[in-house]
Amino acid sequence: MTTIETLRAKLPFPLKRLADLAYNYWWSWSCDRTSLFQNINPDEWQRCGHNPVAILESASYVRLTQLAKEPAYIKRVKALADQLDRYLAEKSPWASRVAPQISPERPVAYFCAEFGIHESLPIYSGGLGILAGDHLKSASDLGVPMVGIGLMYRQGYFRQRLNRGGWQEDYYVDNHFDQMPLELMKNQQGEPITIEMEIRQRIVKAQIWLARVGRVKLYLLDSDRHDNDPIDRWLTGHLYGGNQETRIAQEVMLGIGGVRALKALGITPSVYHLNEGHAAFCTLEIARQEIQRSGKSFYDIEADVREACVFTTHTPVPAGHDVFSSDLMDSYFAHYWPTLGLSREQFLALGARRLGDPWEPFGMTVLALRMCRTANGVSELHGEVSRKMWNILYPDRKEDKVPIAHITNGVHARTWTAPLISDLYSQYLGEDWSTRMVDPKTWEKVDEIPDEEIWWRHQVLKERLIAHTRAKVKMSRQNRGEEQFRIDAADKLLDPNVLTIGFARRFSPYKRGDLLMRDAERALRIFGNLEKPVQIVFAGKAHPADEEGKRIIQRLMEWCKHPDILNRVALVEDYDIYTGQKLVQGVDVWLNNPRRPLEASGTSGQKVCFNGGINCSVLDGWWCEGYQADANGKGTNGWAIGEDAHTSDQELQDRIDSESLYRLLEEEIVPLYYDQDENGVPHRWIGMMKASIKTNSPLFNTDRMIADYVTQVYAPGTSVGAEPIMASVLA
């Protein structure tokens, strides 16, 4: 029996379809995503990390039989299961009409080192993984035949706790794959399907787990097998953990192992999409298999490999791209380049920025750019930055002719829009709004939503964010053993009637998480104002090796204790998708202040727009394209920090941007928010909320993004023409 069949057998007859729902993450962006599994046992639902398989496995027979005799619950189960059946069985989704050459028999294979599908599958660290998860979801909704390829990390990314000194401590928790919405792929004899590769002069085996994401299948490789060397079992132990040797070994498994996994599963892709350079070794394995099949030389089949591969880069600085020393490459690939018919020098040249330099490291982005027919950045500005950065590889071309385009990132709105706001859109934009969100006309009716209606819903979501923040902060204080008065004080943290800012991202120095504190006295005047106060919720992790990032967190933790702002500043530990949803759905303002031009795109602020939040950001990444201003230079759908002032002097830039941020808060943001009628409704503020929704929602969603990939990258020459971009109906 399969894992789904085993779970189904445990459930009472009226509830058996819960097993099908639990094993397909489609439920997480369905209309009934908030309560179907939670109703089984709300406390256990929280404890198990919102894992539908775990909640069903742990439910008592008594509780299951209670639910099985409740007509209303049975009807909900049946309705959602029927909806999933219709979704999976749809005959002619958008992509099949626009690009029939991408078929289930020849799908797109999407490689990425991390995937952020849901908090119950903790194999992501941040933006890259969340983007990859949203990519798969919209590919499913638009009917793009696609399979994902990644690694199944035994302990995922690190978990975060802050000690009494405010210092980040890193720890790990085992993922129990057999209790997660995963299926171990097996052959007809019932044995796990495995692939082999040579890593560090040893044969390493990997088995393959399947996570269903709507119509898309995500395959995850796992080396934690008893027949591997104990060291090799930990190759898939941690995401972004270990040293350079661990990193290259993981990228060998992702790229070379991923292509071998596809072959073992009988999947022949039409396109291989490398999402970031981590997967670039897949181009070598595609070449090796073709050389073995055809008997041709590497240079004979190189053009064919390039035609099959496409590449997306997400990193706007050279230091952020993976490079490996020639010694390390010798250690891992001396056995491999002969299978390509290449000499050592020819092989290393594939990843060298400067040919002929014996000390030149092997670059994964360089390999991807050389071996893929298209390359793109993830925003218009990032495309420009990337062309400048990699001009060295194209010495015969001017910078603006470097073949790196851009497709601006988006977000999967059906995941990130709060059900309370989605319901509002259904009432005023039409019940099918989420299937036609790319059409600007869909959003024209936003102005017809009564101010009072959108405001009370927004306030409820803010209260939910505050309740979540209080509970998390209180637990953290208890775990740190803080004084009882500090623990009790968490119950009064934040106020739903106060202007609330959200800041959540990786705490890296360039993201300037402490920019608000640059002038401590001025910041205290703004946040401690008794008449028009401001409050902020921080969340995010610093990489375990980033000491300066950890110091930023420590400074923020110290700031939280200042007596003038005790209830106005909160830092939520162990940031994950669930906390992220509460933040983007509940804040009034989303703050983003990285150093330019180091934000390739960013997507958190896009999620805020769908929920009526307003962005306050430097003009970097996607906000360069999203921000709109009137003839006087004042923002109409958000605010721009520092406007377009840019200098290479980082200290001066920090001073310019912090001054701009303080001025915006004091002169524009705070007065606008507190300009409220006798019922506490800020009509001018709501006007900007609606402008944020109308102008950004049609552009910065993954339906539009996927359509761009289909027509510009996967099947170039395809035109949407008169075929509107339509997602599958969820109702």
Per-residue pLDDT of 374-427, as tens digits, reads: 999 999 999 999 999 999 999 999 999 999 999 999 999 999 999 999 999 999
> What does the pLDDT read at residue 731?
44
Q: How far apart are CA 354 and CA 346, in angstroms?
A: 13
Inter-residue contact 701 to 437 (CB < 8 Å): yes
Q: How far apart are CA 672 and CA 682, in angstroms?
A: 8
pLDDT per position as a tens digit, 37-62:
999 999 999 999 999 999 999 999 99
pLDDT above 80 (res 541): yes
> What does the pLDDT read at residue 721?
61
Q: How far apart are CA 299 and CA 664, in angstroms?
A: 57
CA 577 from centre of chain: 9
Q: Strand 183-184 and strand 159-162: pairing?
A: unpaired
pLDDT band at 81 (very low <50, low <70, confident <90, very high): very high
- HEC sequence for 457-485: HHHHHHHHHHHHHHHHHHHHHHHHCCCHH
> What does the pLDDT read at residue 699?
97
Q: Read off the DSSP letter of residue 115.
A: B
pLDDT per position as a tens digit, 205-244:
999 999 999 999 999 999 999 999 999 999 999 999 889 9
The two three-digit tokens of residue 548, written as one number: 């300066």
Please compute the mean of the pLDDT values over residues 486-511 and round it to a whole number. Answer: 95
- HEC sequence for 290-355: HHHHHCCCHHHHHHHHHHHEEEECCCCCHHHCCEECHHHHHHHHCCCHHHHCCCHHHHHHCCCCCC
Nearest to 236 by CA among 113, 55, 345, 74: 113
pLDDT per position as a tens digit, 261-281:
999 999 999 999 999 999 999
Q: Read off the DSSP letter of residue 180.
A: S
Inter-residue contact 228 to 257 (CB < 8 Å): no
> What does the pLDDT read at residue 191?
96
Inter-residue contact 358 to 326 (CB < 8 Å): yes
> What does the pLDDT read at residue 373?
98
> What does the pLDDT read at residue 661?
97
The two three-digit tokens of residue 368, written as one number: 């991807």
Inter-residue contact 606 to 627 (CB < 8 Å): no
Note the pTM of the prediction, 2 decimals: 0.97
Please compute the mean of the pLDDT values over residues 163-184 and round it to a whole number. Answer: 96
DSSP H or E segment with residue 250: helix 244-252
Q: How far apart are CA 414 and CA 411, in angstroms?
A: 9
Please compute the mean of the pLDDT values over residues 334-359 and round it to a whole number. Answer: 92
Average pLDDT along the chain:
95
Please compute the mean of the pLDDT values over residues 84-89 and round it to a whole number. Answer: 96
Q: How far apart are CA 344 and CA 684, in angstroms?
A: 66
pLDDT per position as a tens digit, 1-17:
889 999 999 999 999 99
> What does the pLDDT read at residue 33?
79
Nearest to 686 by CA among 445, 416, 437, 449: 449
For 4-25, b/e burial (b = at least 16 CB within 10 A) is beebbeebeebbbbbbbbbbbb
Please compute the mean of the pLDDT values over residues 497-505 and round it to a whole number. Answer: 97
Q: How far apart are CA 131 and CA 96, in angstroms?
A: 23
Q: Strand 202-213 and strand 216-222: pairing?
A: antiparallel
Please compute the mean of the pLDDT values over residues 332-342 and round it to a whole number. Answer: 97
The contacts found for 34-41 with CB under 8 angstroms, 24 or more apart, are 34/419, 36/76, 36/77, 36/80, 39/67, 39/73, 40/64, 40/67
Residues 6+ apart with CB under 8 A from 295: none
Rg over alpha carbons for the chain, rounded to the nearest Å, is 26
CA 264 from centre of chain: 28
Please compute the mean of the pLDDT values over residues 564-582 and round it to a whole number. Answer: 95
- Number of Cβ within 10 Å of residue 657's Cβ equals 23
Please compute the mean of the pLDDT values over residues 63-87 and round it to a whole number. Answer: 96
pLDDT per position as a tens digit, 651-701:
899 999 999 999 999 999 999 999 999 999 999 999 999 999 999 999 999
Please compute the mean of the pLDDT values over residues 318-338 and round it to a whole number. Answer: 92
> What does the pLDDT read at residue 208?
98
> What does the pLDDT read at residue 714?
97
The two three-digit tokens of residue 326, written as one number: 């020639």
> What does the pLDDT read at residue 317?
80
pLDDT band at 644 (very low <50, low <70, confident <90, very high): low
